[in-house]
Copies of this chain bind each other. A is one copy, B any other.
């Protein structure tokens, strides 16, 4: 009878275990473990033998068992805003790129009810670390709730007040300069500059844009015009942006310059304007925010405030890796800056 057959069948239904390999190789499971992982000292002869047998049996270690004993799972969680927004999908793709050089698996947290997920999933030794992007409100509760949580790197645009109290690694995106530049350009080009934003409360904490806009408008002796569109928390609903904007323009005077909360909305607005036969930039100058590549493929190419997404993701992973290998590292922080990229939708 095959030695394999002799071993008792586990709940795992016949999966090859360390024990099976050990039996066939005539050694102790521990030796197999060492041989396969390269830890400990194993003679070349037995190592080769073990490796051969392991390959023949197609042995794969049981990660749950390993995690149980080591306390590490080999996976990190990524929490972002709704992936339906291209911006977050892009971040995901960038992070995927970062992680692929490592052996870490990527657990993708649903963006809705992040609070529930962060608190209930992450604490259960399900991941070794977390990268949270633009999920600050949830994160705050989360870090407060308990100390027994895996290390977390937070990145994104957030409220200065919150940052101060942050005891965790973080990367702050500073939008203000770029917004200042964008609004400045619009103010100097246009007579009626509006800021288009979602009515959703969730985005309040990102509203550096609104603040800078209002401040600059007032400084320029203009009346701020914040257009709140009823599109809810998911700005990827361009259909809503489009419809709401068309509706708005039926009953309001046309601004000749618009800064939008983000690119998704800018694209919706672009379409609304074209629906009404308006020309860009001749009738309306348009600027978005986030730097989605999509913006460049419109005609005219739509201006945007470009986020340093690549740098942010690279840095976030760097921070997390460091914290995972050196838990005692002092708090890591960095600030990255967005930049305004004027394109055809803005007159120069």
Contacts and interface: CB of A to CB of B under 8 A. Distances in A.
Q: A93, A239, A270: which has the most chain B beta carbons within 10 Å? A: A93
Interface of A: 11-16, 58, 60-65, 67-71, 73, 75, 78, 82-84, 86, 89-90, 92-93, 96, 99-100, 105-113, 120-121, 123-126, 145-146, 148, 238-239, 242, 267-268, 270-271, 274, 293-294, 296-299
A297 B63 contact: no
Given A11-B69, A89-B89, 19 more contacts: A11-B70, A12-B71, A13-B71, A15-B125, A58-B146, A64-B73, A82-B93, A83-B96, A86-B89, A89-B90, A89-B93, A92-B92, A100-B113, A106-B107, A106-B110, A107-B107, A271-B296, A274-B299, A294-B294
A148 B242 CA distance: 50
A107 B105 contact: yes
A65 B69 CA distance: 9
A263 to B, nearest CB: 11
B83 A93 contact: yes
Contacts of A84: 90, 93
B124 A61 contact: yes
9 contacts: A11-B70, A60-B124, A61-B124, A62-B68, A86-B89, A89-B93, A99-B110, A100-B113, A268-B297
Contacts of A296: 271
A94 to B, nearest CB: 9
Contacts of A105: 107, 121, 126
Contacts of A146: 58
Contacts of A239: 293
B89 A124 contact: no
Nearest to A11: B71
A63 B128 CA distance: 13
Contacts of A62: 68, 124-125
A108 B124 contact: no
Q: A67, A108, A239, A298: which has the most chain B beta carbons within 10 Å? A: A108
A297 B126 CA distance: 40
A148 B96 contact: no
B86 A86 contact: yes
A82 B140 CA distance: 32
A96 B111 contact: yes
B110 A63 contact: no
A120 to B, nearest CB: 7
B90 A148 contact: no
A92 B83 contact: yes
A222 B110 CA distance: 49
Contacts of A86: 86, 89
Nearest to A91: B83
Nearest to A62: B125
Contacts of A99: 110
Given A105-B107, A107-B108, A299-B299, A83 B73 contact: no
Contacts of A125: 12, 15, 62-64
Contacts of A13: 71
A281 to B, nearest CB: 14
